[in-house]
Amino acid sequence: MNTQTRTPPKRSPDVAFVPMLAEVARIEVVSATFRRFTLTGPELHTVADNRFDQRFKILFPVPGSDITELPLDVLVDSDDWYGAWRELDNAVRPPMRTYTVRTVRPEASEFDVDIALHGRLGPASAWALDASVGDRIIVCVPHTGYTGGFHGGVDWRPPAEVGRVLIAGDETALPAVSGILERLPAGARGIAVVEVPDATDAQALSQPPRGVELRVVARGDTAVGTALIPAVHAAAAELLDAPDASAAVLEDVDIDAGLLWEVPTDAQGDPLLAKAPFYAWLAGEAQPIKELRRHLVSERGVDRKAVAFMGYWRRGRAEM
Ligand SMILES: Cc1cc2nc3c(=O)[nH]c(=O)nc-3n(C[C@H](O)[C@H](O)[C@H](O)COP(=O)(O)OP(=O)(O)OC[C@H]3O[C@@H](n4cnc5c(N)ncnc54)[C@H](O)[C@@H]3O)c2cc1C
């Protein structure tokens, strides 16, 4: 099947995210850990360019198969693609994983995704190691035809007025951090800390505006979070006043039982605070992110309505 000539269906203006067939147009080895995949397809000019940490889903083919062998009339063309996906037999159901939209080029009907390799432990990373130009996947992305306003899936939602920002994460959050740094207002102030496996991975990052200092820490062979935690503690000490003895005691989040995810917004996706002296965005492996959130809120007294924290993955656990 020729991906480029397949006629896309008419999309409903009421649906924020839609599945689209995509083909690998280019692959760039960005650094020791990152591969950048440029995806193209007949509908990709309608991918909304929301930037920041816009997330989307990828459905990867089961090894040895091509995604176009699946019933695309329901998986790509229908509004109930998720129901159709769930009903597929385990043996053929394409694994679904979450990624960040890196750069959108509607004029070329393309967008990029930066995938951090972590061996053959999971279907996404294994696909990224083996993929070639022309390989096909299904992406579920925010589309420009949606008329309902905010698409969702962007968790950088700071108060309209913020003093300083702290942005922190591991390599899985690096594409999101880049998207945030590219879009921060020119006058933003604060610190961004990114932990990566290898020092060359800094090449995958965008540069921040002048008032935001970017610190990249390489953890080498040590456990994820080993370099991130002390670097974020140090950044917090620089950005915040002395620890607050009356700081809130947080209820524990059991990261084995559920998702570690809290974005302080209301039902419309608007920030809970109009104004704050400090705002933190933390994303990456659940354990260090949980520890960093505890440090900021319980030890340093940061208002929890000014801290967004997201467990992007869990050690030893597949995404689903
Ligand atoms: C909102 C959001 C945005 C994300 N954006 C990106 C992105 O742009 N780029 C990116 O690379 N990742 C991103 N991630 C993380 C990515 O979804 C996970 O790493 C995912 O688990 C990879 O799927 P997999 O099939 O390779 O591994 P899975 O099948 O999910 O897991 C298999 C095993 O691999 C381990 N594992 C998973 N990820 C890693 C890792 N990075 N390092 C070491 N071990 C790992 C798991 O703990 C498990 O033991 C994002 C996650 C979220 C929630």
The pLDDT assigned to 79 comes to 83
Confidence class of residue 1 from pLDDT cuts 50, 70 and 90? low
Ligand 1 contacts CB of residue 114 (under 6 A): yes
The CATH superfamily label for domain 3-142 reads Translation factors (2.40.30.10)
Ligand 1 contacts CB of residue 123 (under 6 A): yes
Confidence class of residue 247 from pLDDT cuts 50, 70 and 90? low
- Residue range(s) in the chain whose domain bears CATH number 2.40.30.10: 3-142
pTM over 0.85: yes
Q: Whose CA is nearest to atom 4 of ligand 1?
A: 99
- Residue range(s) in the chain whose domain bears CATH number 3.40.50.80: 161-313
3-state secondary structure the chain: CCHHHCCCCCCCCCCCEEEEEEEEEEEEECCCCEEEEEEECCCHHHECCCCCCCEEEEECCCCCCCHHHCCHHHHCCCCCHHHHHHHCCCCCCCCEEEEECCEEEHHHCEEEEEEECECECCHHHHHHHHCCCCCEEEEEEEECCCCCCCCCCCCCCCCCEEEEEEEEECHHHHHHHHHHHHHCCCCCCEEEEEEECCHHHHHHCCCCCCCEEEEEEECCCCCCCCCHHHHHHHHHHHHCCCCCCCCCCCCCCCCCCCCCEECCECCCCCECCCEEEEEEEEEEEHHHHHHHHHHHHHHCCCCHHHEEEEEEEECCECCC
The pLDDT assigned to 4 comes to 62
Q: Whose CA is nearest to atom 36 of ligand 1?
A: 315
Q: What is the pLDDT of residues 299-315, one digit of tens each?
A: 999 999 999 999 999 99
Ligand 1 contacts CB of residue 316 (under 6 A): yes
The pLDDT assigned to 9 comes to 87
Q: What is the pLDDT of residues 165-210, one digit of tens each?
A: 999 999 999 999 999 999 999 999 999 999 999 999 999 999 999 9
What CATH number has the domain spanning 161-313?
Answer: 3.40.50.80
